[in-house]
Structure 1
Amino acid sequence: MLERLLHHREEPVLVRSWIAGGAVRLRAEARSEQACSYAIDRMRFALALDLDLAPFMRRFRSDPLVGPAIRQRRWIRPWRQPEPFESLAWAITEQLIEAG
């Protein structure tokens, strides 16, 4: 199970995701339905649930390096940040900065 706290405007939203019966389930808890809908949309994006990986799987399933991982873990998806600010923060903090 994955839990995230997101905000829609000033309203906090708790989002949970889990796997059940081969599918990913999402549930959001907030005071407003609009905030829940927003959080579900952002987590669908972050978990890449709407991303069709079939072309990638077909092309690389026989690849000696990534093929075994693709075949054994078909559920793996690229991870994205649910909010643009988080993407920016990760991009800045993950840089390798060296002082000469």
Structure 2
Amino acid sequence: MNKDKATGALLMVISVVVILAYLIILWYPPIAAKAALTLLKLTGSIAVLAIFAIIGWIGYTLVTTPPPKPIEEIEKELEKELKEIEKETKEESQKQANP
């Protein structure tokens, strides 16, 4: 078994164990009476933190990323480069025609 398959199998086993432990803590009466509310608070907190961490990261990315160049500026640069290439091509063809 290669490393990726072994890692995948381990992740699957861990997921099943965590799911079972979560459900037992949440629904098994002797444990649920003491830990269910704490577990639900923990789950809700993690979910809210994860969602708003992602939203914050998106906001940070939007703030720190420079805006793209306007299309007009890009078109001007492309036209300039195209003219330079055409000029170089003409010069090369003239050099080849007149050795």
Whichever structure has more helix as a proportion of its residues is: 2
TM-score by structure 1 length?
0.26
TM-score by structure 2 length?
0.26
Whichever structure has more strand as a proportion of its residues is: 1
